Amino acid sequence: MKVSIIGATGYAGAELLRILYSHPEVEVVHITSESHTGEVISSLYPHLRGRCGMVLESMEDMERIGRDSDFVFIALPHGHAMRVGKALEKLPTRIIDLGADYRFDDTAVYETWYHVEHTHPDASRVYGLAELYRDKIRGAKIIGNAGCFTTASILALAPLAKERLINENTILVDAKSGVSGAGRSPKQSNHFPELYDSFTAYGVATHRHTPEIEQALMELSGEKTIINFTPHLVPMSRGILATCYASLKPGVTPEQVDEAFQRLYGDEFFIRLLGRGGYPATKAVRGSNLCDIGWHIDERTGRVIVLSAIDNLVKGAAGQAVQNFNIACGFDEKTGLDVIPMYP
């Protein structure tokens, strides 16, 4: 399959290129960057030396790129993918957007949280969280790749929501991310003296991944869901650990919780169930498309606490995009992704 990457010089785009270059069914035909047009990608990312010497192009002529490509991956900030989607609307080229532009069923929700007009509201799109939406992903024209915090959080809570074991409006998600989730552009908060030896929350009650988590959980449970989501920044480059709390419905037993996770994920290659009492760690999934999940029952408070760990650049972005690509193409989902995590 011929594929192109729009926005190849961000962390997610570069990770996507790294994975696709090892994919046996892929030929990368175009990579773009508006800020580095004409430069060789390995001059920006030296880990690609000797493997990828492609020259970065402009995305100005999207129709030409689209005609050359079976799939276009978009690794741009929100608000930019809609232009690509509209440019490729009449072509058979399929799209996987790693940003937020095509994640929401209701574009008004997108506009409220992202403060950007949605210029492609009639686009035929599906939500790209592979373990939950395979059937829709297979034939989709546009796949809105799930976000990083949302992947960790939704996968942690999905079995409980699907089997209606929890009170949906008691959900609290406390999640921590490595700084690569903030992107490659330098900011004061990402500056080493500011970041190192520190730990801080941000986006309290306002983070844009909140409605994305709510949308998925509402679809699973069939009940209106409002959550509290608080993200944190930790001084590491990769990884997300999400700690999710919810009140169990009266009469729900620990064994029912165990069975719900086993039923939904027991056969999933990329989800490793650590079981009741398990403690996922970001280091154990680093560099992989895996999600480790463990859960605990607090009988004193009647709550379930679910912990999940992913690599934000792989399962939370590029790896999930390739998993969605594999599903859409009819390939084995593990193709290009069957790697053991890096350790330590």
CA 69 to chain centre: 23
Residue 71 phi/psi, 5° resolution?
-135, 145
Is residue 42 exposed (0-12), middle (13-18) or buried (19+ Cβ within 10 Å)? middle
Helix (H) and strand (E) counts in the chain = 11, 13
**Alpha-carbon gap, residue 83 to 76, rounded angstroms:** 11
Strand partners, 275: 294
Catalytic-residue membership of 148: yes
**What SS3 class is residue 78?**
coil
- Give me the catalytic one of 148, 244, 291, 329: 148
Structural contact between residues 231 and 175, judged by C-beta atoms closer than 8 angstroms: yes
CB atoms within 10 A of CB 314: 32
CB atoms within 10 A of CB 211: 23
Asked whether the bond before 344 is cis by omega within 30 degrees of 0, the reply is yes
The residues carrying an active-site annotation are: 148
